[in-house]
Chain A
Amino acid sequence: MNIGYYPGCALHGSSNDYDQSLKACLGALGISLQEVKDWICCGATAAHSLNHKLALALPARNLALAERDGFKEVFAPCPLCSMQLLKVRKAVADDSVRQELSQIVETELRGEAEVLNLIQVFESVGLDRLKTAVKQPLGSMSAACYYGCLLLRPPDVVKFDDFEQPNSMETLLTALGAKTVEWSYKTECCGAGMTMASEDTVLELAHKILTNAVEHGANCVVVACPMCHVNLDMKQAAVERKYGKKLDLTVYYLSDVVGLALGLSGEQLGIDRHFVTHAPTTAKTAIAAGPGSEH
């Protein structure tokens, strides 16, 4: 399977552990990721907050480049990047917008390439194939599957799962032998790109999310977004300091847990580079370490 890969800035920056995890995990499943040549930033929150036209033009350039490279499918592991690409696809249904955007980005934009998030990539592999590839069932994992915002919203743009009661990550994890918990914060916002500009907002929201996961019996949180990981993992120590409690909750990327089930090591997946880490080397030790151990 050949998929155009749009990593986005985070995965080439401080979320490069996510990039490592994806390449190790998807590589083990025989999926090779070919980076869209000379991709640019999607503009993120700054563009849609300050310049609506730029917010469409920047991802339009990336979709056009992917199409120029002949990709029928583009995988964007960051839900914000992925949602912005899908917004372009929706906008170009109007041909005058398509033509104008093509001129702005100096590349013919058809808007036909499919845009995939990480869950959809695993779904395209198929649950049956994943189940047979499991070498290390995730038996003692009780995961809080955290979707956050943009995998699900806006529902008319992303058209993915049930936007209030999503279940696609739980279905995947259950197939890998993990248990998942029912909890209340799986579609709540973590504060996203406010990490630097408004840290208190992020700490407050991350605190609610992590606490709710613990209260519902989770021993880890599973995310499919670089910003969710930053706010729940990197900022977890700051949350613990601010709210005077110990959470010690491992936060995995979805590709980490699939990779562990496939028998990959924590080092291969980059789990040892997370902030809250019990340095797991296999699924068994990852889970044996569990919450409450030293890190």
Chain B
Amino acid sequence: MELSGTITHSARIESLAGSKIANCYQCGKCTAGCPVASHMDLVPNQLIRLLQLGRDDLALTSPSIWACVSCLTCSARCPKQVDCAAVLDALREFSLREGKASPEAQIVVAFQQAFLDNIKRNGRLNELELIARFKLAVLSHTRQLAFLFKDAGLAPQLMSRKKLHLTSERAHDCEVVGRIYARCAPSQPVLAAPVEAVAK
């Protein structure tokens, strides 16, 4: 891998994650405890290392950042208080915003987007609508018809257990949710102060 000589320490990612990436001394404890590390092309400590070396581009386009299950084990165990899970959150956010999300991860990306769109419309999760829109989004990306009907067998089982609701779940005041979304749009400034001091 060819490295650019400049070390930027990815200030924007540090700011969003509220964590100092330079603190990482590559002990690998994050990766050792990660339940999905075996499915990652770049494991958590390698992603952090890329940011230390100023190679954000490689981290942002990696499918690994979308394999993360957000269990927070990495952050809880880091001996240097690097909030690795928050760093991965920040990587996902910038990756999507800049159109760099890995095509290999499009199913996960489509699900997260369908989920957020669903909340924007309904205030609360409408499960049937989420499933329908997610499946259609995947179909349009992958052209895999089988995915559309995957798990369809679960529907009658959920129905017989009174777990599937045909009436839609909605907050009473959906307009306020739309206004909250607008105030949190990527074009809006970040919060006045990061959740945790960066220089911890």
Report the bound CA distance from A39 to B69 in whole Å.
26
Q: Are B116 and A46 in contact (CB under 8 A)?
A: yes
Beyond A14-B164, A39-B171, A97-B191, list 14 extra A-B contacts (CB 8 Å).
A9-B124, A9-B125, A40-B171, A46-B119, A49-B92, A49-B112, A50-B93, A50-B113, A54-B181, A100-B191, A153-B75, A191-B35, A197-B108, A205-B69
**Taking the complex as formed, is B73 at the interface, i.e. its CB lies under 8 A from any CB of chain A?**
yes
Choice from B83, B85, B110, B184 contacting A51 with Cβ under 8 Å: B184
Q: Are A40 and B123 in contact (CB under 8 A)?
A: yes
Closest B residue to A148 using CB positions: B71
Q: Are B71 and A100 in contact (CB under 8 A)?
A: no
Q: Which residues of A contact B152 (CB under 8 A)?
A: none
Q: Is the interface of A mostly helix, strand, loop or mixed?
A: helix
**Taking the complex as formed, is B157 at the interface, i.e. its CB lies under 8 A from any CB of chain A?**
yes
Closest A residue to B18 using CB positions: A52
Chain A residues proximal to chain B, CB less than 8 Å: 9-10, 12-17, 38-41, 43-58, 61, 87, 90-91, 94, 96-97, 100-101, 103-106, 149-150, 152-155, 163, 187-189, 191-194, 196-199, 201, 205, 234, 273-275
Q: Which residues of B contact A188 (CB under 8 A)?
A: 35, 71
Report the bound CA distance from A47 to B73 in whole Å.
19
Chain A nearest CB: distance from B60 CB in Å? 14
Q: Which residues of A contact B72 (CB under 8 A)?
A: 149-150, 153-154
Within 8 A of A (CB), among B21-39: 35-36, 39
Closest A residue to B134 using CB positions: A196
Most chain B CB inside 10 Å of its own CB: which residue of A9, A188, A192, A274: A9
Choice from B112, B124, B154, B164 contacting A50 with Cβ under 8 Å: B112
Q: Are B107 and A197 in contact (CB under 8 A)?
A: yes
Report the bound CA distance from A9 to B128 in whole Å.
13
Chain A nearest CB: distance from B75 CB in Å? 6
Q: Which residues of B contact A41 (CB under 8 A)?
A: 119, 123-125
Report the bound CA distance from A248 to B164 in whole Å.
24
